[in-house]
Amino acid sequence: MLFHPGVASIRCKDCQKYDYNFQTGRRKKFAQGTQDRLRVVPPPCERKQGCPKGGPEEERSCELTDANYATLMLFMANESMAGGCLTEYERADSLVRRHFAILASVYQEWRRRREADALAAAMLGR
C-alpha cells in the first residue's frame, strides 16, 4: 500500500458505508458533514477502475502484520546505515535477503514514481 497510503488506512467495511477521499484516507465532507454512501454510488471495488486493495475479500492480504512491519523497519534501518545494522546471521539468512530484495525493488519503483511526479509537476508549473 506504499503507492496508495490513503487507501491503506481505510477499512473495507467503512468504505462500503461511507464515501472516502482515496488521497487522504478521510471521509468526504458534505454540507451536512459526513454521510452514508448513497446507494446509487457503489464503492470503488465495485466500479470499473477498482480499488488498490481489490475488495473486501483481499483486504486481509493488504494488512501490515507485526512480522512484516518488523521486516520493513529492519530493511529501512539497514538502508539508512548502508547495511551496517545486520548481524552476520541476518546477512547470511536467505529469507532476509529475499525479503530485502523484494522491498528494495518496491522502494526503487516508489522513488522512481515520486521523481517522475515531481518532474511532471515542475514541468507543468505546479
Using pLDDT thresholds of 50, 70 and 90, give the confidence band for residue 66: confident
Domain-terminating residue out of 19, 36, 63:
63
| pTM metric for this prediction | 0.61
Are residues 84 and 36 both part of a single domain? no
Counted residue by residue, the chain has a size of 126
Give the closest residue to 16 by CA, choosing from 49, 64, 59, 60.
59
List the one residue out of 31, 24, 19 whose CA is nearest residue 7.
24
pLDDT at residue 102, rounded to an integer:
92
Domain's final residue, options 25, 47, 63: 63
User: How far is 101 from 96, CA to CA, in rounded Å?
Assistant: 8
Alpha carbons within 13 angstroms on the beta-carbon side of residue 16 total 8
Q: Which of 11, 44, 63 is where one domain is finished? A: 63
- Mean pLDDT for the chain overall: 86
56 and 9 housed in the same domain: yes
- Is pLDDT at 41 greater than 70 in this prediction? yes
With residue 10 as reference, give the H or E element that holds it: none
Mean pLDDT across 83-94: 87
> What confidence score (pLDDT) does residue 87 get?
87
44 and 95 in one domain? no
What is the domain range of residue 41? 1-63
Residues 80 and 43 in one domain: no
Same domain, 13 and 55: yes
- How large is the average pLDDT for residues 86-108? 90
Do residues 20 and 58 share a domain? yes
Tell me, what's the pLDDT at 24? 86
Res 35 pLDDT > 80: no
- Asked if 12 and 27 sit in the same domain, the reply is yes
Structural domain total, the chain: 2
